[in-house]
Amino acid sequence: MCMGAMKVFNAIILGGGAAGLMCALEAGKRGRRVAVLERSERIGKKILISGGGRCNFTNLHCLPENFISGNPHFCKSALALYTPADFIELVERYRIPYHQKTLGQLFCDHSAREVVNMLHEECRKAGVGDPRQHADPLGHPERCRIQRAYPAG
């Protein structure tokens, strides 16, 4: 619960990068009230420089056996729940042109900006608070108090 702005959130996500934005929009789609706290002035800054500015947004061979992890089972369940095909479907829905390079790598034809805009729009549609309205709240801890964690499950 964030008292500063008198808004109640089920989930507060720290960082509006690729991981935070995906987490936010998926939680929002599940009916959670979500805010993203991003410390820099813009979301998705690293996405913009990814893939030489064209964002290598997924890989067709993104399989559990290609990951190194202390818990290989986590990878299996995570990748079973959200596959490269799911993200490709999203990219195609937004009519973002893309191409395959080597070894199953998929890149935007034009600009990584299109991926950032898509994630931002998906967050907006899922009711996620505009990250830019929550700039630097961590610099003002008195404005934001976590009352209780969201229960698991």
Ligand X SMILES: Cc1cc2nc3c(=O)[nH]c(=O)nc-3n(C[C@H](O)[C@H](O)[C@H](O)COP(=O)(O)OP(=O)(O)OC[C@H]3O[C@@H](n4cnc5c(N)ncnc54)[C@H](O)[C@@H]3O)c2cc1C
Q: Which residues would be at the binding site for ligand X (CB under 6 A)?
A: 14-20, 37-40, 45-47, 49-51, 55-56, 138
- Tokens 């089920």 -> residue: 10
Residue 81 or residue 151: which is nearer to ligand X going by CB?
A: 81
The count of residues in the chain is 153
Cβ-proximal residue to ligand X, closest one? 17
Torsion of the alpha carbons at 128, 144, 137 and 12, rounded to the nearest 10? -30
Residue 109 or residue 153: which is nearer to ligand X going by CB?
A: 109
Are 135 and 41 a contacting pair, CB within 8 Å? Answer: yes
Smallest distance, ligand X to C-beta of residue 8, A? 20
Question: Residue 6 carries which DSSP code?
Answer: T
Smallest distance, ligand X to C-beta of residue 140, A? 12
What is the C-alpha radius of gyration for the chain, rounded to an integer number of angstroms? Answer: 17
Residue 126 or residue 135: which is nearer to ligand X going by CB?
A: 135
Residue 50 or residue 123: which is nearer to ligand X going by CB?
A: 50
Smallest distance, ligand X to C-beta of residue 112, A? 8
Burial of residue 129 (CB within 10 Å: 0-12, 13-18, 19+) is buried
Smallest distance, ligand X to C-beta of residue 125, A? 20
